[in-house]
Amino acid sequence: MGHQCVCTDNRIEFTKQFIWITGILNIISCFVTAIYMLSRKYWSGGIVFLLFGIFTIICFVSWIPRIPFSVLMLQTAIDVSKTYGHVYLISFLSGLLAAAFGAWFSVTMVAVYVKYEPGNNPACNQGVGSCSSGTVIGLLVFITFAAYWITEWIKNATHVIISGVFGAWYFSPNNPAKGATRGAARRALTYSFGSISFGSLIVAIIQFLRQLCSVARNQAAGDGNIVGQIGFCILGCLIGILEWAVQFINRYAFSYMALYGKSYIQSAKATWTMIKDRGMDALVNECLTGPVFTMGSTFVAYICAL
């Protein structure tokens, strides 16, 4: 019993150190990037990263009193993942599926140009349909929107399945249920299929609008329309904030759906009630534990950017 308590204390201490380390590394990465950009006389990027680094310090210092709660949440997630090892398999398979879909999407985009691009295209004389710029644009718009929707669905379905596994532990922590992963997958792919699709559709529409805004901004920049470029830039930022807010709500709404089997609308309403009561705690906890899971990808992104 005493040995078990010592091991638990050591694991909690290690998790606490990990949160501290990742938070500090995030701050260091911001300042290193700022110094590098300023040394290369890339003033705008350097100043942005410098301000972002200062903002990160202020946030991290103000979040220090909340670190113990984040440590408990992170350690619980690790323990449950060890108990139900299938969550790693689900994550791997969903990543594999997303990669396969990405490859299929790329091939489909190329095929549209090969088949319907007007001009000296021998494929225009074969098969059904006509070659025109309108056909190409219409198909690309449809394919892009479908890609946003399907990608979101894959991500959210995986989230619901894993949340269902954690829910099985939550309702019976001392007696782990058998077949929890299989049951969670069955519920996500049957009873909650429509709700997951609806929640994913909302995000896909927002992402698609953001993409259209980006295209319009680039078009305005090409035409030399500074006012239009600034306007679409501001609109893109507002849509980006809306996307972040919806993604944040969806993350908890889909977890609620996995726990109680409610519809998307009911889950979103329950999540909104929770956010009004404990929204800041949830946000701070995500900001503290998020870097622990994303530090590897963050460093790869910094290295690629440099």
pLDDT at position 111? 86
pLDDT at position 219? 87
- Taking residues 101-110, what's their average pLDDT? 92
pLDDT at position 61? 79
What digits encode the pLDDT tens for the residues 7-53? Answer: 444 555 667 777 777 778 778 888 888 888 888 888 888 888 888 88
- Flag the least confident range among 103-107, 201-205, 245-249, 300-304: 300-304
- Taking residues 98-118, what's their average pLDDT? 88
Confidence of residue 131 (pLDDT cuts 50, 70, 90): confident
- Specify the residue for token string 């990027």: 45
pLDDT at position 2? 41
Confidence of residue 3 (pLDDT cuts 50, 70, 90): very low
pLDDT at position 1? 44
pLDDT at position 218? 87
pLDDT at position 97? 94
- Flag the least confident range among 93-97, 102-106, 230-234: 230-234
What digits encode the pLDDT tens for the residues 238-287? Answer: 999 899 889 988 988 998 999 888 999 999 888 888 877 765 566 666 65
What digits encode the pLDDT tens for the residues 61-84? Answer: 777 777 776 777 777 777 788 877
pLDDT at position 301? 65
Confidence of residue 144 (pLDDT cuts 50, 70, 90): very high
Confidence of residue 233 (pLDDT cuts 50, 70, 90): confident
What digits encode the pLDDT tens for the residues 145-170? Answer: 999 999 999 999 999 999 888 888 88
Please give the full DSSP string across the chain, using - where no structure is assigned.
-HHHHHHHHHHHHHHHHHHHHHHHHHHHHHHHHHHHHHHTT-HHHHHHHHHHHHHHHHHHHHHGGGHHHHHHHHHHHHHHHHHSTHHHHHHHHHHHHHHHHHHHHHHHHHHHHHHH--SS-GGGGSSSS---HHHHHHHHHHHHHHHHHHHHHHHHHHHHHHHHHHHHHHH-SSSPPTTHHHHHHHHHHTTTHHHHHHHHHHHHHHHHHHHHHHHHHHHHHHTT-HHHHHHHHHHHHHHHHHHHHHHHHHHHHHHHHHHH---HHHHHHHHHHHHHHHHHHHHHHHHHHHHHHHHHHHHHHHHHH-
pLDDT at position 170? 81
pLDDT at position 7? 45
Q: Supply the mean pLDDT for the chain.
A: 81
- Which has more confidence, 207 or 177? 207
Work out the percent of the chain whose per-residue pLDDT is above 90: 24
